[in-house]
Amino acid sequence: MRYLLLLLFLPNLFACTQQGKAQPEQVNLQGGSTKLPKEKYQKTVADSVKPVAVKDTPAQPKPKPEFSVEYIMGKFDPAQHPDFVPVDKKYADGEGYYLRKETYASFVKMHNAALADGITLSIISATRNFAKQKSIWEAKWTGARKIENGANAAKKYPDAKNRALKILEYSSMPGSSRHHWGTDIDLNDLDNYTFEQGPGKKVYDWMVKHAHEYGFCQPYSKKSEDGRNTGYNEEKWHWSYMPIAKKLTDLAARTMTDDMIGGFKGAETAVKIGIVEKYVLGVNPDCL
């Protein structure tokens, strides 16, 4: 009898044990009479499936990049751009120049400080967009405009790459010029010799000493084997407003490739020459 009773109870005993073990899992899976509140449980499941999603925070719109590749390549009209202002003719050799507002504000301060020291800084070129640079480049490319040594590049350099390299001593390919950016200016005269003696030297010496106080840097410094050894020749007249130009140089380094450069005569040489690496980024290390 004892054995019979024991046999009758044994299956129940096992059943209870198994049920006891299985119960919490079943409850959890069904979400029924669980110890976790339903809300919390659902959140736990959601979190385990999508750990990145934070339900309580609304989706943030991606911050818009400050500058686009189109901007870097000068594909806009500075006269219509909200961040640009015309340069007053008292600071320039004429009218029709545009700069970014920040560049202009700092230039005016620098101009006034220089004037107080008896130095005149006059803008002779400012923002040039892609279309403007294309007209300069193609005039040199076709020989309609002589290059710096007085030669007709089309006649003297029939090989496309050689011709491009010759023009590149002082002129940028459209799409790759710092003059697109609204941060760069040419001052007083497009001739290094002007700045090496007489009143021009005083101007240059003043700039070397003080331009950095206003955020300006000379990107096309003297070339040397251990310093800047690629890119344009030295330009003592060309100055960049670094607080913005630096951002644009960094962006160009990350996003620009030679095959993006096109839409003008001779553009096929851009890849062979390596315009981005050698010219866009081939600047004075102090201006990087």
Q: Do residues 116 and 86 touch, judged by C-beta distance below 8 A? A: no
Contacts of 95 (CB under 8 A, 6+ apart): 86, 89
Least CB distance to Zn ion at residue 128 (A): 9
Contacts of 17 (CB under 8 A, 6+ apart): none
Q: Do residues 101 and 78 touch, judged by C-beta distance below 8 A? A: no
Least CB distance to Zn ion at residue 63 (A): 32
Least CB distance to Zn ion at residue 159 (A): 26
DSSP summary character for residue 240: E
Token couple for 82:
């909200």
Least CB distance to Zn ion at residue 74 (A): 13
Least CB distance to Zn ion at residue 99 (A): 13
User: Residue 9 or 193: which CB sits closer to Zn ion?
Assistant: 193
User: Residue 133 or 269: which CB sits closer to Zn ion?
Assistant: 133
Q: Is 39 helix (H, G, I), strand (E, B) or coil?
A: helix
Least CB distance to Zn ion at residue 103 (A): 13
User: Residue 83 or 234: which CB sits closer to Zn ion?
Assistant: 234
Residue spans of beta strands (DSSP E) within the chain: 84-86, 98-100, 123-125, 184-187, 216-217, 238-241
User: Residue 53 or 172: which CB sits closer to Zn ion?
Assistant: 172
User: Residue 169 or 268: which CB sits closer to Zn ion?
Assistant: 169
Q: Do residues 245 and 183 touch, judged by C-beta distance below 8 A? A: yes
Q: Are strands 216-217 and 184-187 parallel, antiparallel or unpaired?
A: unpaired
Least CB distance to Zn ion at residue 246 (A): 17
Q: 239: which strand partners?
A: 185
Residues that bind Zn ion (CB under 5 A): 186, 238
Tell me the residue number closest to Zn ion, measured at CB: 238
Q: 238: which strand partners?
A: 186
User: Residue 28 or 122: which CB sits closer to Zn ion?
Assistant: 122
User: Residue 163 or 238: which CB sits closer to Zn ion?
Assistant: 238
Of residues 193, 14, 20, 202, the one with CA closest to residue 120:
202
Of residues 266, 26, 35, the one with CA closest to residue 166:
266
Least CB distance to Zn ion at residue 238 (A): 4
Give the DSSP H/E element, type plus range, for residue 196: none
User: Residue 186 or 258: which CB sits closer to Zn ion?
Assistant: 186
